[in-house]
Amino acid sequence: MSAADLTLEKGLPANVEAERFLLGSILRNDSAFIQIAGTLTAEDFAIEKHRRIFARMSELFERGERIEHLTLVNELMKRGQLESVDGMSYLASLDEGLPEITHLESPIRLVKDKSTLRRLIFTAENLKQRCLLGEQEPDEILAGAEEELLRLGDSKSGDRLLGTVEIIDKFPGGINAFLDPSKRLKGISTGFAKLDEMTGGLHEGELFILAARPSMGKTAFALNIAQHVATHPKLRKTVAVFSLEMSAESLLTRMVCAQARVDQQRFRSGFLNQDERRRLAVALNDITEAPLYIDDTSGANLMDVHSKLRRLKNERGLDLVVIDYLQLMSGRGRNENRNQEVSQISRGLKLLAKELRVPMIVLSQLSRASETRQGDHKPILSDLRDSGSIEQDADLVAFIYREEVYKPDREDLRGLADLLLAKQRNGPIGRVPLVFLKECTKFENRAEDVDAAPYE
């Protein structure tokens, strides 16, 4: 007999006796329901009648009613399901002769494990059908499979709360680092001393929303950070940049000119002196040797980004992600409006940052509200475009503001810029003064911050 025939003969993984035992334990003592429902749902039961019985038990519990034979029979009758669960005789058999056991971890685990195996089989079958139909690109099918498997893994790992001792054991650096802030692992340096001082650097799992009106320099600022993290001799960390607006060649040109401090216009026109050519060659060599990866696929969605980042992390490692920019990403499925779609994307990016355990800098556009305000044009949180959930999902929200854009006649404002920290979950908000070199699209520390040591 073939392996396929054996599989069909054995049927799907299930432990019917463990399921009966759990349902019977609830009928014998309904306080057991809380312990079981903390890990299992109706869908975790293999047999349809067990799923229906557990679902009706859940409804009784939610209404604050006792879970007993009589109340359960009445609930099933109201739904017209009593016959489909083999009637009162089957319910009576569930706890007949059943010993009272306080700890149900073992049967709960048996049922959960079989449920996970069944879901893996369903996922594999769905994947097989998608491959046979051939209606999607292979990369899209692969990304969907990865996402589904990760969701199954999350449901397994997140089925219990952690005790305080476990939390401290898992804390980077152990109990000494937990009690002594000076020994805690710091985030990745951004290269901007004042920003590092206020944030402690970029931390794993955090979503950093960087927003500005067009031509304020948000792409330049994000690339300056990415370049610093990838090329600084004491860092040299792996960085992934997704550019949904500019080509990879344009980004590379920006980075090389910024590193070499060469006027981009002179570079494009070809009118360069010998010193500038030398500096460009050195800068290009630094960047090409750095662990910096660029993707310029337009209209990328969460699934694409997720798949590419997981592959990069497995093959080369991953320390920082930059996405330019949020409003150019597309969501999955049908959404009623753009706000809902952007909400889905921002939430997905936050979950992705947590899953991959890397900081994620995501650029965002601002609405025209700041332009129309009289007097002060500094952006505020309500100016974030398309969705209020961007503010909600972000761990840090910062705005780039250059007053010289609004007052071009003021010579004293030339080259001055501010990074306005409008939200930070774990630190202060405030202003980070910067210098902007427009010709080479590069932000730098102001003179008073130059000597401040960045976090390593």
Q: How far apart are CA 62 and CA 160, in angstroms?
A: 21
Q: Produce one character per residue of 259-285: b if its CB has 16 or more CB atoms within 10 Å, e if not.
A: bbebbbeebeeeeeeeebeebbeebee
List the beta strands (DSSP E) in 205-352.
207-212, 239-243, 292-295, 320-324
Tokens linked to 168: 């401290």
Residues 339 and 386 sit within 8 Å (Cβ to Cβ): yes
Count CA within 13 A, CB hemisphere, residue 348: 19
Please report which residue ranges of 134-192 form alpha helices under DSSP H.
Answer: 138-157, 164-170, 174-179
For the four alpha carbons of 243, 357, 334 and 382, in that order, the dihedral sign comes to: negative
Residue 439 burial (CB < 10 Å; 0-12/13-18/19+)? middle
Helix axes 48-62, 69-78, angle to 10 degrees: 110
Q: Which residue has the tokens 């009613």?
A: 65
Residues 148 and 332 sit within 8 Å (Cβ to Cβ): no
Nearest to 85, CA basis, from 116, 54, 59, 39: 54
Q: Is 245 a catalytic residue?
A: yes
DSSP 102: S
Ramachandran angles phi, psi of 26, nearest 5°: -65, -40
Whats the size of the chain, residue-wise?
Answer: 456
3-state secondary structure of 340: helix
Across the chain, which distance is largest between two alpha carbons, in Å?
Answer: 94
Element (H, E) at 394: none
**Which position among 204, 245, 355, 439 bears the catalytic label?**
245
Which residues have a catalytic role annotated? 245
